[in-house]
Amino acid sequence: MQALYVYVIVGAVLAGFVQGLSGFAFGMVAMSIWAWTLEPQLAAVLALFGALTGQVIAAVTVRRSFDKRILWPFVLGGLVGVPFGVWLLPHLDLVMFKLCLGVLLVLWCPAMLMSQHLPKVAFGGRVADGVAGAIGGAMAGIGGFSGTIPTLWCTLRGFQRDTQRAVIQNFNLSMLSVAFAVHVASGSIGRSVLPLLVLVAAAVAVPVLLGARLYIGISEVAFRKIVLSLLTLSGIAMLASAVPVLLSR
């Protein structure tokens, strides 16, 4: 039991710092650690709650004005996706999910990182933003991964640093709140999980604040590199946890 608490704390601390810095990726970082020892559904609930806690803290710490016209397609799409993700979680092969998402991130993000002068993606408009939001909403229901695809899409769209941060921060806060409420209403969060939720909340608080403070001082170029590098590392971590399991089947 003590080893379990150590894994939960380490995962929450690392993921909280990354989330405070980048505005997303709590679920990615935490699951890359927790997937080794925790049951998939327990890890998913803890990742969801930790990401929500971190977003609440970061929203208060790093406030940015945002254009509601940019945000609302993401949110509307996300609201469609969240119930689907919550329904899918008990039926999902999380190993295959991590493998597919890991391959996508490992192949795509380094290409984006090395091709900074690619033209911005302009097609699709608000409909494409809504599709990205729907995928993010579904991934929020699965395990708090709400920001991954919308962040990648915002990067492809060429959003400025503060615009991207504001969109992802507010989108994540909305989706994670809805996803956690749906999990509570469905009865998937029992009393036995409450001590671990408290532990995650306590472990997240300070690292999120440290990451948010570091974000304030970084440049546009540095922010882009950090985001794409974190997405790449998240993909590598997912592959590292998924491939051995698949090979052992």
Q: Is 24 left (phi over 0), alpha (psi -120 to 50) or beta?
A: beta
CA 53 to chain CA centroid, Å, is: 12
Among 127-136, 158-167, 200-209, the range scoring the smallest mean pLDDT is: 158-167
Instruction: Name the amino acid, one letter, at 7.
Output: Y
Highest mean pLDDT among 43-47, 64-68, 116-120, 128-132: 128-132
- The mean per-residue pLDDT over the stretch 74-102 comes to 83
- The mean per-residue pLDDT over the stretch 37-46 comes to 80
Asked whether the beta carbons of 88 and 134 are under 8 A apart, the reply is no
Alpha-carbon span 87 to 83, nearest angstrom: 6
pLDDT tens, position by position, 108-128: 778 767 756 666 777 778 899
Asked whether the beta carbons of 65 and 163 are under 8 A apart, the reply is no
Number of residues that make up the chain:
249
pLDDT recorded at residue 80 = 92
pLDDT at residue 77 greater than cutoff 90: yes
pLDDT tens, position by position, 144-185: 777 778 888 888 888 887 788 788 888 888 888 888 888 888
Q: Which domain holds residue 12?
A: 2-248
More confident residue, 248 or 203: 203
Highest mean pLDDT among 2-6, 159-163, 200-204: 200-204
Q: How sure is the predictor about 131, in pLDDT bands with cuts at 50, 70 and 90? A: very high
Total domains present in the chain: 1
